[in-house]
Amino acid sequence: MDKDIKRVEERLEYLSSDAKTIEIYKAREKSLHERANMISSAREEGIKEGIEKGIKKGIEKGIKEGIFKTAKNLLVMGMDEDTVSKATGLSVEEIKNLKQ
């Protein structure tokens, strides 16, 4: 067992003194570091993009809900479906569905 450890230590010492091996090791470490940075940057970009899309969807949903609420209020006030449709941009079919 001690012979095996001694042999591994000698081999490790030999390899660590070899300039080419050190160069390969450093290149590999640099590559791994760059890859980790790229993954981190891509993740951050993905999170940012997801947040932006979520905000946009939320705003669109809020606007649509506001339009439907306005249409309902106009109907309650006695406005006809065609006028409510023109005022809100909703189709007459959507207006009819609001009445139900």
The boundaries of the domain holding residue 55 are: 2-99
Total domains, the chain = 1
Q: Which residue has the higher pLDDT, 2 or 45?
A: 45
Residue pair 88/70 in contact (Cβ under 8 Å)? The answer is yes
Q: For the segment 3-52, what is each residue's pLDDT rounded down to a tens digit?
A: 888 787 777 777 777 777 778 878 988 999 999 999 999 999 999 999 99
CA 29 to chain centroid: 29
Indicate whether this model's pTM tops 0.85: no
Q: What angle do CA 57, 61, 63 make, to 5 degrees?
A: 120
3-state secondary structure of 64: helix
Residue pair 91/68 in contact (Cβ under 8 Å)? The answer is no
DSSP 8-state class, residue 73:
H
